[in-house]
Amino acid sequence: MTQVNLYFPYLIDTQGQTAVADEEDHIRDMIGQILFTTPGERVNQPTFGSGLPGLVFEPNAADAAAATQLQAHGALQLWLGDVIEVQDVTVEADEEVLRVLVRYLIRRTQQRRLAEFRRPGVAL
């Protein structure tokens, strides 16, 4: 049976059908979901998420960014460790913008990738 990967957030394609994501886009979407979900937000998965959304209302400080970096790395390893090898997570606080860079290796294809995300959840 072939696995179908849907885009997150949900998208409609040009034919008016559910848009299907390729493996790389799907992995990037999953990383974004983990980064921008608050632990406790999902009823049956209370540990899912990274705590990054909580920084929306906190002042951007170097110590908060460092703590979030560790949380994000751990959450990605926990939830996607069988799909990717997280090589580096960098969280940078620059005035009111929080930027997250995730370097990872896709285990199945051995391809290295870099994904960039910005608070409050807008992926670049």
17 in a structural domain: no
Q: What is the pLDDT of residue 122?
A: 41
Residue 38 lies in domain: 23-123
How crowded is the C-beta side of 78, counted as CA atoms within 13 Å?
Answer: 15
105 in a structural domain: yes
- Each as own residue / partner, the long-range contacts of residues 73-76 (CB below 8 Å, 24 or more positions apart, any chain) are 75/34, 75/35, 75/39, 75/48, 75/49, 75/50, 75/51, 76/31, 76/34, 76/35, 76/50, 76/102, 76/104
> For the domain that residue 76 is a member of, what is the CATH number?
3.10.450.40
Give the count of beta carbons closer than 10 Å to the beta carbon of residue 62: 10
Residue by residue, pLDDT tens for the chain (124 residues) are 566 677 666 778 888 888 888 889 889 999 988 988 888 888 899 989 887 766 655 565 666 667 778 888 999 999 999 999 999 998 776 666 778 899 999 999 999 999 998 865 443 3
10 in a structural domain: no
